[in-house]
Amino acid sequence: MTETSTVKLEQWTDIRELVLMCIGTDKGTWWGDPTFGSELWKLRQTGKVDGKTTGMVQQMILDCLWWLKEDGLAAEISCEAFQAGKDTIAYSLQVSRPDGTSLTIKDVWNGI
């Protein structure tokens, strides 16, 4: 008989992986937690990128990471986004941990 163990997301020490997993997972599609993930997939259905889309990407990123603060993994989370091309929005995410360390993640979201 083998013993299995469960790893909770809150036990992960690499917050970068948690953030990228959350942003890159379509909300409601992960069997382990239907609230995990972002709603960025909804924006791809519109097929356009503009100033309004930029604000929506920024807010959706922040919305999907709320649980990091609630669970004590992050003290503060901020995000800045800007249109970087016809179909691309670049974002910079700053995650401050409770121990005072911080992490910056820069990435792009492609609308199509």
CATH number of the domain encompassing residue 90: 3.10.450.40
pTM above 0.85, yes or no: no
Number of domains comprising the chain: 1
What the block records as the tokens of 106 is 């820069």
- Domain assignment present for residue 2? The answer is no
Domain that holds residue 83: 14-110
Does residue 1 surpass a pLDDT of 50? no
Report CA-CA distances (Å) from 44 to 7, 51, 61, 75, 104: 32, 15, 14, 30, 25
Q: How far apart are CA 18 and CA 28, in angstroms?
A: 16
pLDDT of residue 2: 47
- Domain assignment present for residue 84? The answer is yes
- Domain assignment present for residue 101? The answer is yes
- Domain assignment present for residue 62? The answer is yes
- Domain assignment present for residue 61? The answer is yes
- Domain assignment present for residue 22? The answer is yes
End-to-end, the C-alpha distance of the chain in Å comes to 48
- Domain assignment present for residue 7? The answer is no
- Domain assignment present for residue 1? The answer is no
For residue range 9-56, what is the model confidence (pLDDT) as tens digits?
455 557 888 898 888 888 888 787 778 888 888 887 776 788 888 999
